[in-house]
Chains A and B, each alone.
Chain A
Amino acid sequence: MNKKHNYSKVMTQFLVYLALIIFAVTIVVPVAWVFMASLKGNAEFYGRSPWALPEGLNFQNFIDAFEKANMGTYMVNSIIVTILALGFLLLIAIPAAYVLARYRFKGSKILNVVFMAGLFVNVNYIVVPIFLMLVDGDTFLRGHGMPPMLLNNLIMLALIYASTHLPFTVYLLSGFFASIPKDYEEAAFVDGSGYVRTMATIMIPMARPAVITIILFNFLAFWNEYIISMTLMTKDKFKTLPVGLMNLVSAQKASTNYGQLYAGLVIVMLPTLILYMLVQRRLTQGMSLGGLKG
């Protein structure tokens, strides 16, 4: 009886390990394979097993990706947009979240509801109306003798990134602010500290863990985003990395520049992988803070 029980226990243990290992392999192997393939010369992709190791460390693909496939420009665009969007978001979301969590005023209930409702609006639905709005705006500007500047504008794109991530960020941050005891602020007010100073020097520093979490999540979201960018950046020189990569994928189907394609893939995913390695514990723990996915 006991022996049989032990046997089945070992068996389940084995099957469980097997399933876990298989799934881990399906993640690690393709990602590692992309890194390997990015070092292969173009000739190495033909008539050879895709599993063959590269003949040498061939960094030509990366140079080609940067020079011929414009990945350098796209990367600069991505860096600009990501940093700007994070800046806008933090600057706008933190004070709003703090006030919404802490102050009762005329309309505060409605605003809380509006930001909550925003959680349910996905950008995929509204990206075309946003595009049309910017087209209209540009037509208006042109009609009044000004240059059109809403479409194909990295600052605008960053602003829209920040706006569409406001509901999630405000939700997460105001939840955190609400959990901080009120005593700290009251003590500060008694000491004669004003509203702005109390927020900036007492409350925001206390919310640091939540702020770091939103920076991490939103960095990944902005860096990886491509639907909005693809729709609003119609000129090639304003495209961001993921959109540029998509162009490489479709170009590769025609001209078979596999090397450049995989180099491009590495360029897009390397920053996120490095960040993940540095902060993975924080990222996976931060999830229980928000518990939502945009």
Chain B
Amino acid sequence: MEKRKGRKKRRGAFIFCCVAPATILMFLFMIMPTFNVFKMSLYKWGGFSAEKTFVGIENFKKLAADEKFLRSMQNSILIIVVVTVITMALAIVFAAVLSRQKLKGQGFFRVVFYIPNILSIVVISAIFSAIYDQRDGLLNTFIYLFRPVGENGEGLIAWLGNQKLVIWAIVIALIWQAIGYYMVMYMASMASVPESIYESASIEGAGGITQFFTMTLPLIWSNIRTTLTFFIISTINLSFMLVKAMTGGGPDGASDVFLNYMYSQAYTNSSYGYGMAIGVVVFIFSFALSGIVNAVTKRETLEF
């Protein structure tokens, strides 16, 4: 009896020692700050003065009329839609080609395509700054071969300095960064589809493209759905990190995305309450969007 009690006590102590540090850290640096985002969004609090006044949903009302915020929202939605569609399509096609057609150099392509994913976003932004540089950029030196620049600088293409082009420059960098990761992911899930299914389909005369649409795609559909949800959330984050490092939102807010606007309000501008209200809106937006995408892409699952 005594012995059993001692064992129970030791079990409790063991569990506590294992779980407590992680729980404390989670509480301090994840749960508390998240709670504070929501709480602070209801306060007017600016600068380093300790004065916080409760204003209810005032920040959100102001937000709805803030043109800069609406612009950053527009940019973000454009980025989410375009980057998601193109990245997903290319990643799935590349994965299907590399895992179905026994291409030479399969391993090489997989290794190379994954490289952007191991680079810091700061590195990526510096590389793309070199690519987009208006006079000596790696991209423009090609374009100028066909479209020479005039003496007075006429015809220079400022990818990052032009209000219309800059957002597309960001989109391209984001796609470049993401394809490899998702391709590798889809290759892994395609590898789990048994070869025998494809063999019987080939015998019945289904070609590669038919096989792709009637078999590969439906069979990995649940995997695509999950990645889609995460892709939306991660694009919101990555677009902020890239914009922050590459353009800072410029020129004149043309490449601002909503988390970048949040950061500049909350940190650079010290309007904490207002910045956190932006955070709340983006947080809810990203979850709502994921939920919608999840519902829209629901299909009857096909199993092998």
| A residues with CB within 8 A of B | 12-13, 16-17, 19-20, 23-24, 26-31, 33-34, 37, 45, 49-51, 91-93, 95-96, 98-100, 103, 105, 111, 114-115, 118, 120-122, 124-133, 159-160, 162-164, 166-167, 170, 194-196, 199, 220, 223-227, 231, 242-243, 245-246, 249, 261-262, 265, 268-269, 272-273, 275-276, 280, 283-285, 287-288, 291-293
Contact = CB atoms under 8 A, between A and B. Distances in A.
A118 B30 contact: yes
B120 A133 contact: no
A105 B114 CA distance: 41
A288 B188 contact: yes
Given A125-B283, A195-B14, A249 B136 contact: no
Contact of B26 (A163, A224, A269): A163
B185 to A, nearest CB: 6
14 contacts: A16-B101, A23-B94, A30-B130, A50-B133, A50-B136, A99-B14, A124-B241, A129-B276, A162-B25, A164-B30, A167-B30, A170-B22, A242-B120, A284-B111
B18 A268 contact: no
Contacts of A280: 111, 114
Contacts of A115: 22, 26
Contact of A284 (B97, B98, B110, B137): B110
B144 to A, nearest CB: 10
A103 B18 CA distance: 11
Contacts of A111: 19, 23
B126 A265 contact: yes
Interface stretch (B58-66, B78-86, B148-156, B229-237): B229-237
A99 B20 CA distance: 11
A132 B37 CA distance: 11
Contacts of A268: 120, 122-123
Contact of B185 (A23, A129, A291): A291
* Chain B interface size, under 10 / 10 to 19 / 20 to 34 / 35 or more: 35 or more
B156 to A, nearest CB: 15
Classify the interface of chain A: helix, strand, loop or mixed.
helix
Interface stretch (B67-75, B259-267, B291-299): B259-267
B115 interface: yes
Contacts of B116: 27
A245 B33 contact: no
A131 B30 contact: no
Which residue, A13, A125, A227, A265, has most C-beta atoms of chain B within 10 A?
A125
B32 interface: yes
A269 B119 contact: yes
Given A26-B176, A105-B12, A287-B184, A159 B119 contact: no
Interface in B1-46: 10-12, 14-15, 17-19, 21-23, 25-26, 28-34, 36-37, 40
B282 interface: yes
Contacts of A19: 94
Contacts of B25: 92, 159, 162-163, 166
Given A50-B137, A99-B15, A128 B275 contact: yes
B185 A288 contact: yes
Contact of B123 (A96, A118, A227, A265): A265
Contacts of A125: 34, 37, 259, 262, 279, 282-283
A129 B36 contact: yes
Given A50-B137, A269-B120, 15 more contacts: A16-B101, A24-B109, A27-B116, A34-B130, A45-B136, A114-B23, A122-B233, A127-B263, A129-B276, A131-B267, A133-B33, A163-B30, A220-B118, A242-B122, A246-B245
